[in-house]
Structure 1
Amino acid sequence: MSERNVPRPHAGPAVLHAAGAPRSARAQWWCRSVLVVAIALYGVLAQAQGDAAQRTAAIASANALATQAGFEVLAKGGNAVDASIAVAAALSVVQPEASGMGGGFLALVHDAATGKDTFIDSREMAPQAVREADYLKADGTPNRDTSLNGPLAAGIPGFPAGVAYMSARYGKVPLSVSLQPAIRLAEQGFHPSGSLVRSIAHKAEVLRRYPASSGKFMPGGKAPQEADLFRDPDQARTLRALAEKGADGFYKGTVAKELVRAVKAAGGTWTLADLAAYRTKERAPITLDYAGYRVVTAPPPSSGGVAIAEMLNILAPIDLKRMDEAHRIHYLVEAMRRAFRDHNEYLGDPDFVKMPLDMLLSPYYADGLRQSILPEQATKSAWLPSVHAKQPGMHTTHYSIIDGDGNMVSMTATVNTTLGSGFVAGKTGILLNNEMDDFALVSGQPNAFGLIGGSANAPVGGKRMLSSMSPSFVIGKDRLAVIGSPGGSTIITQVFEAILAFVDGKSAGQITAQKRIHHQFMPDRIDIEKGSDIPADVLAKLKAMGYEINDSETWGNMNVVVWDRKADVKTAASDPRNPNGLGKVEAIH
């Protein structure tokens, strides 16, 4: 099938697909009304599988072109890992506001043949020359500009090393095959999504500071519109170097020299040694049992898995289904409050910080925390060590994949805030992250997502900053789910609530669509999405318990795949909050 025979889709809509089985009436309707390209790819997959057409695959991502890239690589013989690389690289091109080669990711991988679950840590790390003074104003207060904008805001990227590592260790096809769809998109161009167009407008002032940034995102001095064809030839060349030489194509040689030259010319501190020293790390995931399900989630440097495990352990003996809605929210919030308090106090890079994980993950520790919850009254965070926090942000991206053999990938990738640092590193075409802000650059002061850290998350050369990214699996006897979301500090509570919903029997579509609540210790309030269907009398009960209720804009962009193994049906669903226009689509084959 040549590309010219397939209508090129708009990059914007969130797209979810399950592919491989014969078309049902529902599938035919969905095909007509959503995305012709997915159907063409579906046909290729079915033809390639022949008699094995019942061996389905499912991908949920935030962008149509990225999902298409994943299925293209599956059709070429790749597995879930290869598909995840294709999705990740395509998103680097079409959704740079949320993730990309200049950032990092955390991923859970399940190998169906061995039953092994492993965690891939490709989080960014601090350059050796990091100094607190670079992130302070003359009066000693935090300098939000240097921590969020420009090269000083950027950690050494982990994304290129991570995809090369995953391909070599767990993939079935060469890295060059997995990266080809992204290279094609960058070279031939695509129509930018509304989200990308808005992000460029939002970040225009910063982008104009740097010639390579304005050249990439505002060619000819003009920001692109959704009808324009957007090309990224510089990133295409860097992707080709990665495809041909693996990690060395990025961290050594011509690309590395240009990265360092551009960063130093703009006032940054990267060195060739910083790049050459970067390594992807494989770690043991956190596992626990909850309500008859096995939860597999992210260990540090993610803070999310520890917090999710702590919250689930607190709630484990409580029959939430028998509670009225107000008391159910009460116990969820109190579990969130305690987990975020410990998040702020203890967690950091496990290669630099000794953390009391045995204590934090212990059911006995959770027993003590549960006993401190008053049944009819909100605990005030002021009764615990207090901090100040801002409204959480909503950037990053997540994708969930199950292939026809049952291999699974849950991957969350980021450049931190929208369009990261806004700094494109010279001729590489690589937009750098602003993950240095995820360190506790100034002890006791909040980062862009309102999270506080102490010495455990202080910046040190070679250290990885703490993350909220929480890719997770939930595995039961007959059903399993691959779950994750962007959303800054709300990632943790989103995934926590999604796990509870899945355990309660909800479908992938119901999980992504459900209204969300959030509490992160400080500010001491419950954030509830505007338009929530929580009844007024429930809100009144919560206020009577002593809670402050904040009507918040919607948050997150969750992508979930559910596999009903008993019926052998895979369901992929994307968040209806997706700002790109399509919202949730659920495809079952």
Structure 2
Amino acid sequence: MYLGRRFAIATESYLATRAGYEAYKAGGNAADAAAAASAVLTYTLPHLGGVGGDFLALVHDGGKTEAVLGLGWAPRRVPEAPPRRGLPSAVVPGYLAGLHELHRRHGVLSWERVVDIAVSFMEEATLHPSLASAVAKYRDVLDADPGGGVYLSLPAAPGAPYRIEPLLKLWRAVREGPHVFYEEIAKDLLHGYFEVEDFARYRPEVKPPLYITYGDWTIYEAPPPSLGFAVLLTVKLAERAEGAFSYARLRNTIAALRKAHWARDAYLHDGEVPLGDILAGRLELGEAEAPEPTPGTTYLAAGDGELVVSAIQSLYYPFGSGFTDPKWGMTFNNRAGDFTKGLNKAAPWRRPAHTLSAVVMERGGEIYALGASAGHYRPAIYAQLIQNVVWYGMDPRAAVWAPRFIWTGGWEAQAEEGWERGPGVTVVKYPSRLGVAALVAKRHGGVAAVADIRGDGLALGL
């Protein structure tokens, strides 16, 4: 945890946090810091949030909150039923366009300066335990990947220095701006599946956030095609229970999750969603049986006297599609695998229903940014983080480090040590890998940041 007066940042990577800190010290603001940290995450945790993935951020700036959505869209040749791995499971990466849009709208340093700071930390990188573990765990995926050698050649020991030259080359190239990626580098990334137009036409989106009033807090989330409304619906529907780690709280939250996931599955797509009716309780909701297990994703938060940034990026599954371009070292996402049928069916230049979302919370002069890696478990973990603050009055570190649970299906859950046992609850050792969270809070005339004990992260500030 870091308690500062002017600025604070927390990420899942100690080097990414340091890059963001240096960007702020160089005369930047929280948006510059978030952009630099995000770039380093694509190098230190490339299995989670690489350049070939997506990016989403909520930004609170001068009393207004907006959502920046760098969520990629399907190419013209997207199959009707995309697979879970392989290049046809990918969409056009929205990451760089989304990150640049965040920086263009809110940063004060030049884009070139932000990239230079990020690259300087990439060149001094040491292997994170998370990346070392992922390479060992997903060796079969990397063995089948045409560019998987960039990962298989990494040292095995955490803390060892390493270089991924193709990724360094890519970041030096996009120092001029994301147009280099979408207009020039894209020509090397087609591989018989993408077309130049798929990249050239892509643009990020900037939209108003969704929000609900929750006690005396306003909770903001990302709009569709993000599942953000399922987070808000879970928070809204869950009945409060006595005891922060009681079986009653777990059971009440699962009851809300079943309805929220049903609504997500029934309505979420890249188009109009009846959000007002859903959140106001005017539609009858069914109950989902289970979320889809999805590891991956990495979250970061930064704040200063003017801005609070809540940001998240992902390939989706670890190492995404399992297809890495050998020349540029960029691993494609596997987001097309989340197209389904009906409203969410695959079609050219459509975005699939998306698991990425981020939270900003506001009460008077207090502003929190929070989020976590979680995939389809995101509504469960985000609801707990929000409840920890609003219901149980936890301070930022307690809210993030508190034992948590995920809903696994039916009335069953996997919960970390510290939760009350009950029917359907499987207890796992604390700390587990049930999401890696971060939080930044602007309050009491200062800024606090918390990195999760579950990850490889760091909180820093001034």
**TM-score normalised according to structure 1 size:** 0.73
Q: 1:385 to 1:455 in 2, by over 3 A?
A: farther
| SS class of match (2:299) | strand
Q: How does 1:374-385 map onto structure 2 within 5 Å?
A: 384=286
Structure with the greater alpha carbon radius of gyration: 1
Do structure 1's residue 310 and structure 2's residue 204 form an aligned pair?
Answer: no
Q: How does 1:21-420 map onto structure 2 within 5 Å?
A: 54=5, 56-112=6-62, 115-132=63-80, 135=82, 146-148=83-85, 150-186=86-122, 188-214=123-149, 216-219=150-153, 224-244=156-176, 246-253=177-184, 255-260=185-190, 263-264=191-192, 269-303=193-227, 305-315=228-238, 320-321=241-242, 325-350=246-271, 354-365=272-283, 384=286, 392-403=293-304, 405-420=305-320
Hey, what does 1:534 align to over in structure 2? Answer: 419
d(CA) in 2 for partners of 1:182 and 1:324? 40
Q: 1:259 to 1:189 in 2, by over 3 A?
A: farther
d(CA) in 1 for partners of 2:338 and 2:35? 25
d(CA) in 1 for partners of 2:127 and 2:99? 24
Structure with the higher strand share, 1 or 2:
2
Using CA pairs under 8 Å that are at least 6 residues apart, name the structure with larger relative contact order, 1 or 2. 2
Q: 1:18 to 1:388 in 2, by over 3 A?
A: closer
Hey, what does 1:577 align to over in structure 2? Answer: 454
Shift of 1:478: 4.5
| SS class of match (1:180) | helix
Q: 1:334 to 1:185 in 2, by over 3 A?
A: same
Shift of 1:204: 2.1
Shift of 1:470: 2.2
Shift of 1:250: 0.2
For each residue in 1:544-576, what CA deviation from the matched residue of structure 2 results, as whole angstroms up to 9, or x when unmatched? xxxx33345640000011222xx3232211212
d(CA) in 1 for partners of 2:414 and 2:146? 41
Q: 1:234 to 1:18 in 2, by over 3 A?
A: farther
Hey, what does 1:459 align to over in structure 2? Answer: 346
Do structure 1's residue 517 and structure 2's residue 435 form an aligned pair?
Answer: no
Instruction: Return 5+ residue gaps in structure 2 as ranges.
Output: none
> Identity over the aligned pairs, expressed in percent?
25
> Which shows bigger deviation, 424-433 or 412-421?
424-433
Aligned residue pairs, count? 458
Shift of 1:321: 4.6
d(CA) in 2 for partners of 1:474 and 1:272? 40
| SS class of match (1:469) | coil
Hey, what does 2:442 align to over in structure 1? Answer: 563
d(CA) in 2 for partners of 1:275 and 1:437? 19
Q: Contact 2:55 / 2:314 at 8 angstroms: preserved in 1?
A: yes
| SS class of match (1:132) | coil
For each residue in 1:403-456, what CA deviation from the matched residue of structure 2 results, as whole angstroms up to 9, or x when unmatched? 2x230110010011112123221311212111122222xxxxxxxxxxxxx422
Shift of 1:389: 5.5
AA aligned opposite 2:178: A
Structure with the higher helix share, 1 or 2:
1
AA aligned opposite 1:470: S
For each residue in 1:336-374, what CA deviation from the matched residue of structure 2 results, as whole angstroms up to 9, or x when unmatched? 111111111111112xxx322121121555xx76xxxxx
d(CA) in 1 for partners of 2:461 and 2:105? 31
**TM-score normalised according to structure 2 size:** 0.92
Q: Contact 1:69 / 1:87 at 8 angstroms: preserved in 2?
A: yes
Shift of 1:127: 0.8
Instruction: Return 5+ residue gaps in structure 1 as ranges.
Output: 1-15, 20-53, 136-145, 370-383, 441-453
Hey, what does 1:43 align to over in structure 2? Answer: none
Hey, what does 2:326 align to over in structure 1? Answer: 426
Correspondent of 2:388 among 493, 498, 501: 501
Q: Contact 1:259 / 1:426 at 8 angstroms: preserved in 2?
A: no
For each residue in 1:281-316, what CA deviation from the matched residue of structure 2 results, as whole angstroms up to 9, or x when unmatched? 01110011110111111111111x21122223324x
d(CA) in 1 for partners of 2:221 and 2:75? 28
Q: Contact 1:69 / 1:181 at 8 angstroms: preserved in 2?
A: yes
d(CA) in 2 for partners of 1:482 and 1:70? 16
Q: 1:348 to 1:67 in 2, by over 3 A?
A: same
AA aligned opposite 1:285: P
Shift of 1:272: 0.6
d(CA) in 2 for partners of 1:81 and 1:473? 15
